[in-house]
Amino acid sequence: MKTKLISRKLKFALTALASAAGLIWVSSAQAQYVTGQQYLSNITPSSTSPTGGWETSNMSDTATGLQITGDGNGEGNTAQFSTLYTYLDGLAQPNGSYTADTEVNFTFTWNSGTTAGGVNVLFALDDSAGGVDYYGTGYNAVAEGTTYTYTFALQSGNQTDVAGGATINGLNFQIDPANVSSPDYTITFNSIELAPAPEPASLALLGLGAAGLFAIRRRK
């Protein structure tokens, strides 16, 4: 009898885990990082066109993304609205096989830099059909050594072009560090990922998985 009970618990656990894993598989199968890699580590500083408080000498393509050191206003300098553009020439990127992508996930790490208020981090997606749309985090507080991820719906220009099979062939990063009170700051642009919106059926699977695990705990 005890063996049967353990067997039933194990069956519940496997079903719940399978449901949760199913959601992960469905969600990640179509998600595509813009440069074809998990991190923006294949964007070399020499391929960028920076302005404002950013210079190629203060950039590095680290294992977790493109890291940039910029000017704050802690030394009496005027914090500069900085930007860079990079053309994704020859880098792997989403193509017409991923026309169902409707969202973009953006991740960055605020490595260092004291702030007296929110910092607005923005990026633009330049697609091969001529669409250019901007996405921004708004003036939100940031903490040193913290990674942030934002999800945006693709704006109309990019959405129409991607649905028609366009690729993303350029990126523009921007930041307004007006509230940075330290002499400088360091930010890493980790990843930009195009993905389809989660399907209701997938969310239901996750709910079933969570319910199964909860049931197991209640039975103990």
pLDDT one-digit tens code per residue, 201-219: 554 555 555 555 455 555 5
Q: What does the pLDDT read at residue 27?
A: 43
Q: What does the pLDDT read at residue 56?
A: 94
Same domain, 85 and 187: yes
Same domain, 1 and 37: no
The values of phi and psi at residue 54, to 5°, are: -105, 140
Same domain, 203 and 176: no
Q: How many domains does the chain have?
A: 2
**pLDDT tens digits for range 11-47:** 544 444 444 444 433 444 467 899 888 999 989 899 9
Same domain, 93 and 171: yes
Same domain, 3 and 55: no
Same domain, 145 and 127: yes
User: What is the pLDDT averaged over residues 58-64?
Assistant: 95
| 3 pLDDT more than 60 | no
Same domain, 41 and 72: yes
User: What is the pLDDT averaged over residues 113-135?
Assistant: 94
CATH number of 168's domain: 2.60.120.260
Q: What is the pTM of this model?
A: 0.77
Same domain, 214 and 176: no
More confident residue, 67 or 4: 67
- As a whole-number percent, the residues of the chain with pLDDT over 90 amount to 52
Same domain, 67 and 158: yes
Same domain, 123 and 219: no
User: What is the pLDDT averaged over residues 116-145?
Assistant: 94
Same domain, 134 and 219: no
Domain housing 58: 33-195
Local structure of residue 141 (DSSP, 8 states): -
Report the alpha-carbon angle 141-42-143, nearest 5.
15
3-state helix, strand, coil in the chain (%, to 5): 30, 35, 35
Q: How do beta strands 48-51 and 82-87 pair? A: antiparallel
